[in-house]
Structure 1
């Protein structure tokens, strides 16, 4: 088929290849079986074929990432913007061949970007995610998420404001970034410890966590949350009193005697 033949383009090559397979290869007598391949296929294999699934197999990459203090998620050395109010949240990122999808903790789609090649070190921003720089790096955009760390967060924030009012946003965002390695409950304990010694500084929280807390993967944090939600939906198992088993065994003994 290929000997001295010229092809106009790839489509022409594919077209002739299909013709050759159907008219030549499938119909020739095979040296080993002494039957045309198409006849053996119809007799032995055709009825065993299964239809393809309705939806194509999803081979997308999925990762859990923390939205950083500058409202981006990092994937393959590149940075993709998310709305400001998700700073410090654990986001789900889905990467297809050409696109990036970012989902909120409730699995709502909050960002969609073109996928940039690995190693580009680029920041891809959606203008709709951005507000003025003054608000963007202030405390207001992350205050709610910071307070959700636990009861010690409000006390720490007040001390932080009294000590360094103009840099509260930086410290709060830096601490929220620590959710990538530490559970929120551990961060809250670190804040409580810092409150006791008036250590209102993000670096102090980082040092406390390094010495007192165990680092965790985002997957383990997600699994812990899922386990807690599952427990809420399951009925509580109450241990029986030992007397109930004694009564049960006594009844069976009486039945055997009778």
Structure 2
């Protein structure tokens, strides 16, 4: 199946996963997650993006995902008051930032751009400044992994830090390193509070993981333990409405 045909035919599917505030027990945002056509070889995002890279169409895929997520959010979820979290690779973000800001007109204050592989962005400060000056909030994704993760959270002024799933898995590992992963998470929570960035722990799948993350003082969480990614209609439907608060 041709990934570019999927993009051109509008067959990308956007699911939304809530981000919850543990203290207030409310939903504060939705992360937009892409899927290919249901039942197709490119349904899963890893396969979809791999095919796009091979075809030289990563930028086209990310921008198509962004536009569809924004369109669905505006029509179905914006009234909830929850923020929209959308993902961008730094190279795509740098190339398309003017276009992204234009598309976000009227919705900038309700949008958080998650930047993946942020350590690879050479013009990070300028891009972050341009986004923030435009009223868009920024999140660093996959914090806690990679040899430059620490330098990224120090050098780039983000509004949110999204802790990598590997840290959450580590705190329940049975190989003797669980306490060290707990220290890493506690450090990130403390760093976030002192630097003004809100920490989001994603990938929480079990009650044990939740209990251990709660001990570190984490406020914002995301994961299958709470919610699986679902179409916007699921969250917008009167039977599935969730209490929402502004961040």
Range into which the TM-score falls when normalised by the shorter chain: under 0.3
TM-score where L is the length of structure 2: 0.25
Which has the larger Rg?
A: 1
TM-score where L is the length of structure 1: 0.24
